[in-house]
Amino acid sequence: MNERLKRLKVKARDLDQKSYRQSQPLNILSDINAQNLTWMRRMAHLTARQCQAEVPIIDPDEQIVFTRTLPAEIPEVYTPEQWQELTTGRTIHESGPINNLSPDWGMVLSQGLLEQKQIALDGVMNCQNDPEKLDFYESAIITIDSVIELANRYAKEARRQNRMDLVEVLQQVPARPAQTFREALQSLRLLHSVTHLIGHYQIGLGRFDQFMWPYLRSDLHEGRLDMEQAYDLLAEFFISLNKDSDLYPGVQQGDNGQTITLGGVDQNGQTAVNELTRLCLRVSRDVSMIDPKINLRITADTDLELLSLATELTRKGLGFPQYSNDDVVIPALVKHGYSLEDARDYAVAACWEFIIPGKGMEVVNIGALSFPAAVDRALRDGLLAGEEMAGILDRVRTEIEYQVNHLAQTYEKLILPPAPFFSVLMSDCLSEGKDLSKGAKYNNFGIHGAGSANAADALAAVQEFVFNQRSIKPEDLIAALDQDFQGWEDLRVTLAGKAPKVGNDDDRADTFLVTLFNMFADACEAYGTTTLGGIIRPGSATAMYYIWLTQGFEDMREPIVGATAEGRQSGKPFGANLAPTQGVQIRGPFSVLLSFAKIDYQRIYNGGPITIEISDSVFRDRDSIQKVAMLVRTFAQQGCQQLQLNSMNLETMLDARAHPENHKNLIVRVWGWSGYFCELTPEYQDQIIARHIYAFD
């Protein structure tokens, strides 16, 4: 990177932009209540006021602008009493606003906001007898005008600074269609930032290399840019995504959903990899910041050159790219109601779930099924009742069905706030006169199955020692669990160290893994249609639940689990996503892939990666990088769905915990996102340190 980009990176990492931030959020309640506005109009008013309150800031080094000056708090549009009355008896998803989606960025960049405004104006003319549609269209127009006015004020500031290059760009976008790569990046930066500014969060950037490539290709063909200039613009855009990330809501800083999806196939099924795909991987490698998180779509036939380039990015220790296997994902989506063209156009949401940009109002994580809780309760009750394994598994099925139904029924009461500006960014909302909060083409819910390896290992241990060898008495096992293995250390060591384990390609454990996920899929399929007209999608990730299920969390619906029969003591975290139980002896990464390849991903299709940590010593030369690339290819060839490969150094992490001042920029993968290790809370640091770290020749 050149010196200009290095300066911008340092400023973003040091959060220099904090000096521009206003100390207090706006208070717009009295104005809104005085006008007695509808909820839709309140959200439009919020957008207008937030945009008006932004102070244009242009750094002399910037070619792509927007620096947020408003604080993290989003102004309330209802008093607490009004909000209580509005939402009593309803379910609010997370913080409330629509989140964890990807707009149709390609559409809005190519059309511009003024074309969207014209659609809304036509809608106003045609719906005079429909107050709800009229309210929606007029609110959408308010938001469009507000964003265009914000861009105009940035253009005015650029003119004041005699930055005529910026004036030209900002007079074109986002109001009008982008015509160049720089204009498209600027338009995307501003539009994406406004979604956060008005309370939406974890908003992905979709299939970035697909909708941005036409602009870059045209610039290269017409001689407006060369690849070095394109590199600089893209690097600045990536750096800009890190400027305000401390303001975005999440479980930890970095959990903000700023993801991009690269590669894969196009809507005709042909390879969609292009020069921008490769450029994104190189720029991400060189910028080395936590945003944007990279997702790379591959197949069993993806060439090793691309996989080696992606491995160079893995080598940096950022925790991405995350890989998704088109050979598995696309057929699974089609099987469950997605058109083939839409399925081929999938992107990855904030962490790992599969969504269709611009066409999905899907709540991809309404909670987690706790496999360990289901198995623990079934084992205890079944053993006390003198049942064999078949009876215990029947109880597991009942427990899984209960948890799935509980989560799904809770979301039958879901209420989503109106989203007039976000609706402008979606494929069909304006043309159909329907706000996104009322649904889109796809309206499915997602539930993840957490702690699957621990639960399968617990069943395998009981099968082996209680039923096969008859070496552990049921009453002794229950007593040991009740006492957290205090006084039962020999029994705990037997369970933890001598039983079959998921991750070793051992059917004695893997069969239970498959059984658990099949039961999960059965329960989701049996539930039927949700309140938004969608279905329940089962996934295989843990998200934050690998900690929450062991320690509890405010308002958490999932049961907390104590000591478990695979030898895990109370309070110890579960494995993240699809990963072996922590602390067990595993043959290596290939056996891990073989174990998790046995899951039926045509039924478990909400995403959730096999997660493998590799020692950074593996990436020592070109041959070693190609070996890791071959591991990725093996993942796809074995029919697995999703993969995270993380480069880690245990000594570095231990030193960072002891001396954080020396490791400010150490990045690790936390679950579906990456963050700065020293900014994580201790329980997440501990779990990451305890993961399996593989070194192989």
- Residue 528 exposed, middle or buried by CB count within 10 Å (0-12, 13-18, 19+): exposed
* Coil vs helix vs strand at 614: strand
pLDDT, tens digit, for every residue of 223-247? 999 999 999 999 999 999 999 878 8
Check pLDDT > 70 for residue 506: yes
Whether residue 673 is predicted with pLDDT greater than 70 in this model: the reply is no
Please write the tens of the pLDDT for every residue from 266-312: 999 999 999 999 999 999 999 999 999 999 999 999 999 999 999 99
Least confident of 84-88, 131-135, 540-544: 540-544
State residue 96's pLDDT score. 87
Kindly report the three-state secondary structure assignment for every residue of 621-653.
Answer: CHHHHHHHHHHHHHHHHCCCCEEEEEEECHHHH
* Range 246-271 average pLDDT: 85
Report pLDDT for 141. 98
Read off the pLDDT of residues 448-465 as tens digits, 9 standing for 90 and up.
999 999 999 999 999 999
pLDDT digits (tens, 9 = 90+) for 564-577: 999 999 888 888 88
Q: How confident is the model over 49-68, as a mean pLDDT?
A: 98
Cα–Cα distance for residue pair 236/219, rounded to 1 Å: 18
Burial code of 261-299, b = ≥16 C-beta within 10 A, e = fewer? bbbbbeeeeebbbbebbbbbbbbbbbbebbbbbbbbbbb
Please give the Cα distance from 480 to 487 (Å, whole number). Answer: 8
Question: What does the alpha-carbon distance between residue 322 and residue 610 come to, in Å, rounded to a whole number?
Answer: 10
Q: What's the rounded Cα separation, in Å, for the pair 318 and 513?
A: 29
Lowest mean pLDDT among 12-16, 18-22, 604-608, 616-620: 616-620
Query: What letter does residue 294 receive in the DSSP assignment?
Result: E
Q: Give a three-class secondary structure readout of 435-490.
A: CHHHCCCECCEEEEEECHHHHHHHHHHHHHHHHHCCCCCHHHHHHHHHCCCCCCHH
pLDDT surpassing 90 at residue 338 = yes
Residue % of the chain over a pLDDT of 70: 95
Is residue 317's pLDDT more than 50? Answer: yes
Say if CB 272 and CB 266 are below 8 A apart: yes
Count CA atoms within 13 Å of residue 246 on its CB side: 17
Residue 578 has φ and ψ, to the nearest 5°, of: -95, 90
Report the pLDDT averaged over residues 426-453: 95
Arithmetic mean of pLDDT, 34-57:
97
Q: List pLDDT tens digits, range 475-495.
A: 999 999 999 999 999 999 999
Q: Token pair of 4, please? A: 């200009």
Is the previous residue joined to 131 through a cis bond, with omega within 30 degrees of 0?
no
Domains of the chain, CATH where assigned: 3-247+267-277 (no CATH), 368-694 (3.20.70.20)
Q: Does the structure show a pLDDT above 80 at 675?
A: no
Residue 265 near residue 326, CB atoms below 8 Å: yes
Euclidean distance between CA atoms 105 and 103, whole angstroms? 5
Give the ranges where 96-212 is alpha helix by DSSP (H). 105-111, 113-126, 131-160, 164-172, 181-197, 208-211
The answer on pLDDT for 554 being more than 90 is no
Whole-angstrom distance, CA of residue 269 vs CA of residue 228: 31
Rounded to two decimals, the pTM is 0.93
Res 253 pLDDT > 70: no
Amino acid type, 688 = I
Is the confidence at residue 557, as pLDDT, over 70?
A: no
- What is the pLDDT, as a whole number, of residue 559? 58
What is the model's pLDDT at position 695? 60
Lowest-confidence pick of 24-28, 179-183, 271-275, 540-544:
540-544
Among 322, 333, 323, smallest CA distance to 360 is for 333
| Mean pLDDT within 191-218 | 97
One-letter amino acid for residue 302 of the chain: T
Residue 677, H or E segment? none
Retrieve residue 222's tokens: 């017409």
Residue in 250, 249, 258 with CA at minimum distance from that of residue 73: 249
pLDDT at 254 over 70: no
Percentage above 90 pLDDT, the chain: 78
Q: Is the peptide bond before 321 cis (omega within 30 degrees of 0)?
A: yes
pLDDT at 288: 94
d(CA 174, CA 103): 15
CB 630 within 8 A of CB 638: no
- Model confidence at 251, pLDDT cuts 50, 70, 90, reads low
Q: Where are the beta strands (DSSP E) in 491-540?
A: 536-539
Confidence of residue 117 (pLDDT cuts 50, 70, 90): very high
Contacts of 474 (CB under 8 A, 6+ apart): 383, 384, 386, 466
